[in-house]
A = this chain, B = another copy of it.
Amino acid sequence: MNNISTTPFSVNGIDYNPPAKPIVVICMDGSADEYLDMTMAHDRMPNLKKMVLQGYRGMVRGALPSFTNVNNSSIVTGVSPAVHGICGNFFYDVKKDQEVMMNSSEYLRTETLLAAAANAGRKVAVVTAKEKLRDILSYQLKGIAFSAEKADQAKLETHGIENAETIIGHKTPAIYSAEASLFVLRAGVALIKNGMADFLYLSLTDYMQHTYAPDTEESLAFYEAQDVELGKMLEMGAVIGATADHGMNAKVKADGSPNVLFIESMLTTQFGPGFRVICPITDPYVKHHGALGSYVLVYVNNDSNIDEVEQWLAAQPGITEVYNKEKGCRLLEQPADRTGDLFVLSARDVVVGKTPADHDLKALDGTLRSHGGRYEEMVPLVISHRLNAKYKMRAQGDPRNFDVFDFTVNGTH
């Protein structure tokens, strides 16, 4: 790799001083620490092990709600949802009176460090498993940005790359597969190898984690295959920072059946009509989780009722946290205008939804495993190179998953 720019840049109050090495940040979507633990215990992640031994492994706190768009947006901006504005996959636009996906960069309120790195002379590439993330991650980016899901449709003018399948050497994968994530990593390897990128963000998808527990052969083989690609990047001299957007827990009763609280139904039964429940996990990909996560927002038509509803909800078994707007925005770092009157989080083994009719549990490919709440907030952080004194200190206390670029770029030289 020649001519890698080391020009410093600053975004959202954070200074980045990149080394003359390929920088690769990987968001291992849904990678609760147990996935790494279990695969490493089977000696099937030798390259991740090398990273841990040469570099750093620890736990970091993600952004809440512990959803994909929220945390991907935080990772590429370095700031919380209160600042960047992406607080779910889905939200209720009060002004338009519409429930809409939050997949578009029009909802992003701050610039990304990826765009800034490109402006500073780095060859930036974003590869995401799901197309839904591409628009946000590539906001104002002069570089490569495409998804595994639609790799075969990437064009030079719009995606910064064409003939992606040929370059990568793999066909566009099915989105509900291990291959969807592996394609992203293989794309990263190919882009570095071909000198097409030296500053990469690779964002995987969590279909496998929603479907398989850490000790299943499917999961072990999936992480083993990821590790092969890590090895190739390390060989090419990359500095790698790997983290996750959220953890993953089984959301089941003792008999293995889904453990769901339908919040809108419960509120209507208790108080009558007048509630809108928004499930910010909702996305176009239904086989993962049936739009059931451990976090919902409640809009209350009758404002005078809010305190009473809050108290009642907080007393329901399986509900662990209920906040009003002021407290929820502060404690959960949320933007006020895109959140409801009440913020509801559920227990480690519980998901919350709207009404039974709104969720198709038959679409699930396995046990209900999901995320969104407090018990999917903590995720692993692995850095391939030894942390310097300043970042070793910073790794103590309360580091965040969205510090991963800061650690990877600034922490190892």
Contact = CB atoms under 8 A, between A and B. Distances in A.
Contact of A41 (B33, B38, B49, B59): B49
Nearest to A374: B374
A315 B396 CA distance: 24
A306 interface: no
Nearest to A394: B254
B367 A396 contact: yes
Given A256-B393, A367-B396, A398-B348, A37 B33 contact: yes
Counting contact residues on chain A (CB < 8 A from B), the size range is 35 or more
A398 B347 contact: yes
Contacts of A61: 348, 375
A364 to B, nearest CB: 14
A40 B40 contact: yes
Contacts of A320: 331
A57 B37 contact: yes
Interface in A336-384: 347-349, 367, 374-375, 378
A252 interface: yes
Contacts of A171: none
Nearest to A393: B256
A213 B396 contact: yes
A250 B397 contact: yes
Given A378-B378, A393-B256, A327 B314 contact: yes
A403 B316 CA distance: 24
Contacts of A327: 314
Interface string A139-154: 0000000000000000
Given A61-B375, A253-B397, A378-B378, 17 more contacts: A33-B33, A33-B37, A33-B59, A36-B37, A37-B37, A37-B40, A37-B57, A38-B52, A38-B57, A41-B52, A251-B397, A252-B396, A254-B397, A314-B327, A315-B330, A347-B398, A349-B396
Interface string A380-403: 000000000000011011100000
A375 to B, nearest CB: 8
Given A348-B398, A374-B374, A398-B349, A59 B40 contact: no
